[in-house]
């Protein structure tokens, strides 16, 4: 059984407590590795290592930082097979998905921010007799906390811009999916990232995450995870005036107008609902369909969903893998029960699955399609974050918008229509950080990424991320 270690000051270290947590393979339900059960002592050590590394790292030229980051990107790509397998075993997602999405994107994150930093410029504001310019300095020691659904993808999405801008990082992956972060530590060391620039502390959110939020020498926190956790972090960090970037939950609407390309809409909506077992914050879990095409859409949609074969994530034929934990399986099943209790109809799926063979005790749920519930029901208001989607008919554009905007969330939305004016009009009125028109999850890393309302505060991506991880200073010179 493999034992994961913390990565502090360039060394792999056991937790101060000497205690470890069990790490499960979701597809089998078996314990397959041990994760450090770290606490505030490990966080304190990591902060000291980061503080010690900061003066030299922040003074390193952007060209050198860029070179190291490109080496990290290249090593991730070189080890794609190993990392993808590790991600799949740890998270439960299909291996083809880890290979085609998670790991390539982790490499891309380092490549993107490692080159973007070369183009990051300060503003200058000349006026008669005076010149104002802006200096952007790294913040110092920053904290990065990431979730279990896209483990290496989201972990690197935070770390890469933080170190590109000259900060030193204390990072915590989810204790449910720590393996690829552990493997990344070795890659960073091999690529020549100086000791202490990246420190990884494994453990429980309420221990390690809280210690990071409370630590006075961590000056900024970039967090992705649930809205409730984001609230807890903000409660601790806001009175200390820490800079905060919060990427939180979503309950994303997918609006299908009668004038859409129905085949495209039905196919992509199925992917948008069930990719990664529905465990992507951008998944479209509420599908609003114009009443005149409701039956036709439903039929085509379900036809596509039926192709989402559930089973062993290592089997290339599998389209949907296991849910990340037993607790999450219970949560998803409880929402399916709530849908029934609320008077909903299960149009497809609705059951736990126990595949034959090695995955018989794994945590699998059928792709589940629910209908017959209003937009204000719990199923259509609360984030389930699993393979459960709800179909709701609408009659007018105003009604679709009002239902789409009726949750506390506002992360992403999808609009299906061939009418250009309608597409732009609806996009402008959706309360959402991202709107895709006739597509889903097409990501350009230069664009601002984040949510409104309870889906978050701040934006990641592009220069927004570099701005978050730097402190601007206005300098005014008399000419």
* Residues labelled as active-site residues: 247, 281
Looking at the Cβ atoms of 245 and 417, the one nearer to ligand NDP is 245
Binding pattern to ligand NDP, positions 278-317, x when CB under 6 A? ---x------------------------------------
> From residue 474, how far is each of 123, 134, 467 by CA, in Å?
9, 5, 14
**Minimum distance, C-beta of residue 37 to ligand NDP, in the bound complex (Å):** 10
Among 26, 205, 311, 362, binds ligand NDP (CB under 6 A): 205
Beta carbon nearer to ligand NDP, 248 or 260: 248
Q: Min. distance of Cβ 381 from ligand NDP in angstroms? A: 14
Integer Cα distance of 181 and 359 in angstroms: 25
Could you tell me the smallest distance in angstroms from the CB atom of residue 252 to ligand NDP? 10
Interface residue with ligand NDP among 93, 172, 219, 298 (CB under 6 A) is 172
| Candidate ranges 74-82, 207-215, 338-346, 386-394; the one touching ligand NDP (CB under 6 A) | 207-215
Q: Which is nearer to ligand NDP, 213 or 368 (CB)?
A: 213
Q: What does each C-alpha distance from 176 to 16, 145, 205, 216 come to in angstroms?
A: 20, 13, 10, 27
Select the span of 75-83, 248-256, 349-357, 418-426 touching ligand NDP (CB under 6 A).
248-256
Query: Which of 195, 170, 164 minimizes the C-alpha distance to 69?
Result: 164
Which residue do the tokens 């909506």 mark? Answer: 269
Task: State in angstroms the smallest separation of the CB of 364 from ligand NDP.
Answer: 18
Q: What angle do CA 54, 58, 62 make, to 5 degrees?
A: 145
The DSSP line for 400-460 is HHHHHTTSS--SEEEEE-S-HHHHHHHHHHS--SEEEES-S----TTS-B--SGGGEES-B
Would you give the binding string for ligand NDP spanning residues 43-62, x where CB under 6 A is met?
--------------------
Enumerate residues 400-419 that contact ligand NDP by CB under 6 A. 411
| Angle of the 103-116 helix axis to the 179-190 helix axis, nearest 10 | 40
Q: What is the residue whose two structure tokens read 């004038």?
A: 259
Residue from 43, 139, 248, 323 in contact with ligand NDP (CB under 6 A) = 248
Q: How many other CB atoms sit within 10 Å of the CB of residue 289?
A: 28
Is residue 451 a contact point for ligand NDP (CB under 6 A)?
Answer: yes
One residue of 36, 94, 147, 458 binding ligand NDP per CB under 6 A: 147
From residue 202, give the alpha-carbon distance in Å to each of 48, 207, 310.
17, 10, 30
Q: Which of 70, 74, 71, 97 is nearest to 84 (CA)?
A: 97
Strands (E), 159-240: 168-172, 198-200, 220-224
Site for ligand NDP in 226-245 (CB under 6 A): 226, 229, 232-233
What kind and span of H or E run contains 164? helix 151-164
Residue 175 lies near ligand NDP (rule: CB under 6 A): yes
Tell me the window of 53-61, 148-156, 287-295, 461-469 that interacts with ligand NDP (CB under 6 A): 148-156
CB of 474 to ligand NDP, least distance (A): 31
- The tokens of 153 are what? 């993808």
Stretch that binds ligand NDP, among 70-78, 91-99, 221-229, 297-305 (CB under 6 A): 221-229
Query: Cα–Cα distance between 195 and 330 in angstroms, integer?
Result: 41
**205, 229 contact by CB (below 8 A):** yes
Q: Does 225 bind ligand NDP (CB under 6 A)?
A: yes
Binder among 70, 204, 346, 452 for ligand NDP (CB under 6 A): 204
Q: Does 213 interact with ligand NDP (rule: CB under 6 A)? A: yes
Find the shortest distance in angstroms from Cβ 31 to ligand NDP. Answer: 16
What does the binding site for ligand NDP look like in residue numbers (CB under 6 A)?
145-149, 154, 172, 174-176, 204-206, 209-210, 213, 224-226, 229, 232-233, 247-250, 281, 383, 385, 411, 451, 455-456
């Amino acid at each position: 059984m493999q034992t994961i270690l913390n990565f502090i000051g360039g060394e792999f270290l056991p937790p101060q407590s000497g205690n470890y947590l069990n790490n499960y393979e979701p597809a089998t339900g078996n314990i397959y590795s041990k994760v450090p059960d770290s606490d505030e002592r490990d966080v304190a050590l990591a902060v000291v290592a980061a503080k010690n590394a900061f003066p030299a790292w922040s003074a390193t030229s952007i060209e050198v930082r860029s070179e190291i980051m490109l080496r990290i990107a290249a090593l991730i790509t070189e080890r794609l097979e190993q990392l993808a397998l590790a991600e799949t075993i740890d998270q439960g997602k299909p291996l083809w998905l880890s290979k085609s999405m998670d790991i390539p994107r982790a490499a891309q994150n380092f490549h993107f921010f490692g080159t973007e930093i070369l183009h990051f410029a300060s503003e200058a504001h000349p006026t008669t007799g005076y010149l104002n310019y802006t200096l952007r300095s790294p913040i110092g020691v920053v904290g990065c906390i990431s979730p279990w659904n896209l483990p290496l993808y989201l972990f690197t999405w935070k770390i890469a811009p933080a170190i590109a801008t000259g900060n030193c990082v204390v990072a915590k992956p989810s204790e449910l999916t720590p393996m690829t972060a552990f493997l990344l530590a070795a890659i960073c060391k091999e690529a020549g990232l100086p000791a202490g620039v990246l420190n990884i502390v494994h453990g429980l959110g309420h221990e390690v995450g809280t210690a990071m939020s409370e630590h006075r020498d961590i000056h900024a926190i970039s967090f992705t995870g649930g809205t409730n956790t984001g609230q807890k972090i903000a409660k601790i960090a806001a009175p200390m005036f820490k800079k905060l970037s919060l990427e939180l939950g979503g309950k994303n609407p997918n609006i299908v107008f009668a004038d859409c390309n129905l085949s495209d809409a039905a196919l992509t909506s199925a992917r948008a609902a069930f990719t990664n077992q529905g465990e992507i914050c951008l998944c479209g879990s509420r599908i609003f369909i114009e009443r005149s095409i409701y039956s036709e859409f439903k039929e085509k949609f379900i036809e596509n969903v039926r192709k989402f074969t559930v089973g062993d994530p290592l089997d290339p034929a599998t389209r949907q893998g296991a849910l990340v934990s037993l607790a999450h399986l219970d949560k998803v099943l409880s929402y399916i029960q709530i849908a029934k209790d609320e008077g909903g109809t299960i149009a497809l799926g609705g059951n736990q699955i126990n595949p034959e063979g090695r995955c018989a005790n794994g945590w699998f749920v059928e792709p589940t399609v629910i209908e017959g519930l209003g937009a204000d029901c719990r199923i259509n208001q609360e984030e389930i974050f699993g393979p459960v989607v709800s179909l709701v008919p609408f009659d007018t554009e105003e009604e679709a918008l009002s239902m789409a905007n009726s949750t506390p969330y506002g992360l992403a939305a999808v609009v299906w229509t061939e009418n250009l004016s309608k597409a732009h009009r609806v996009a402008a009125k959706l309360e959402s950080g991202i709107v895709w028109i006739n597509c889903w999850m097409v990501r350009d890393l230069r664009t601002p990424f984040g949510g409104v309302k309870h889906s978050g505060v701040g934006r990641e991506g592009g220069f927004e991320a570099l701005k978050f991880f730097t402190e601007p200073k206005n300098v005014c010179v008399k000419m």
